Amino acid sequence: MITERAETITHQPFNKWLHWLAISVAAMSVILIAAGALVTSTKSGDAIPDWPTSYGALIPSYLAGGVLFEWSHRVIAGFTALLVFALALALVFSSAPRWLKWMGILALLAIVAQAVLGGLRVLVVSHERVQEVALTVTKANHPDTLRILFAVAHATLAQIVLALTFAIALFTKPALEKVRSAGCEVQEVGGQKGETVLFRLNRLRYTTVALIALIFAQLILGAIMRHMEAGLIIPDFPTSFGKVVPPFGNLPFDPNNPTRMTYSEFAFKVAVNFAHRLNGFVIAIVIFVLFGIVKSLPFAQLKRLGKWLVSLVVLQVALGGLSVWTGLAVPVTIAHVAVGATLLGLSVLAFCQTFTQEKAKATA
């Protein structure tokens, strides 16, 4: 019986303040990613050459332009890290099950690692000794390769932190609200109808796993594209050099380009950009498939979540187009990154809402 599974969740009492702390951390994770997009979009990543200080101080004497953007990003990151620490500590000393406490600890470790990678991203460009050690350890042939490597790893960990905090926010809901959030209206769904619902719920679970993987890959592709400055390497949208698929055998390459980019570098950037577009198209299809499954389930919260996913993916595609049409206008780019992160968070919520009953039953 679905009702019986739902009732097992009520056996886990949670403090509502812990839940609101988790929501605050999840919201700050999205804001932090948007702040990172601001830094990248304005090319302010190297505006402050030292880390963890800023020109040798906590607050640089000059706060304007790129320095202001980069310093604000660091402040938001520090505040978010403190919130994650408070959340992990609160979970450890709460009545939460052990697996949830470990999620909090993992989020804390991830954000610490993210901060270190962010610092290395700065120092590998500005600090000769750090650059030398990094080149030796990674066997990279150029500092710019390290810059991109650390930047992408930094962005990837940001998405992991976001996914963990969204999941914690769901799992720390007060008992009655958690039952509702899992889509488990207090009603009897038994017999053949109950088995059909469980089958569709399992199918939804596999679909959300695929969606999370696709969005995560998309966010990594986006980070690579931004840090390689390949956002406008394909100048048109929705076509690519006027075609459905870029003419990789005959790309319009200018050998006298001012950046001294080689043809192979140009082709690689085009491939990354096009992969980002193609994967976005696949994500949109999967979300519409997910919405079709959700509509067949008797769970109001999941239906609302499905509508949000559909609305946001349509918005995200529009923002992707606007990014190209506006020449990567900063507000549009930030919105595009923030919506992408939110899509990942909501996909994690969708997965958790299909899994909460079994997890709660196992830990009751």
Within the chain, residue ranges assigned H as helices are 2-9, 16-41, 65-92, 98-126, 128-138, 143-171, 175-181, 191-227, 263-295, 300-325, 330-363
Question: pLDDT per position in the chain (364 positions), as tens?
Answer: 444 444 434 344 557 889 999 999 999 999 999 999 999 999 998 899 999 999 999 999 889 999 999 999 999 999 999 999 999 999 999 888 899 999 999 999 999 999 999 999 999 988 889 889 988 888 888 888 888 899 999 999 999 999 999 999 988 887 544 444 444 443 444 444 556 777 778 889 899 999 999 999 999 999 999 989 899 999 999 999 999 999 998 899 988 888 888 999 999 999 999 999 999 999 999 999 999 988 888 778 888 999 999 999 999 999 999 999 999 999 999 999 999 999 999 999 999 888 654 443 334 4
Structure tokens at 329: 């206008």
Phi and psi based region of residue 190 (left: phi greater than 0; alpha: psi -120 to 50; beta: remaining): beta
Q: Are 322 and 332 in contact (CB under 8 A)?
A: yes
Structure tokens at 214: 């696709």
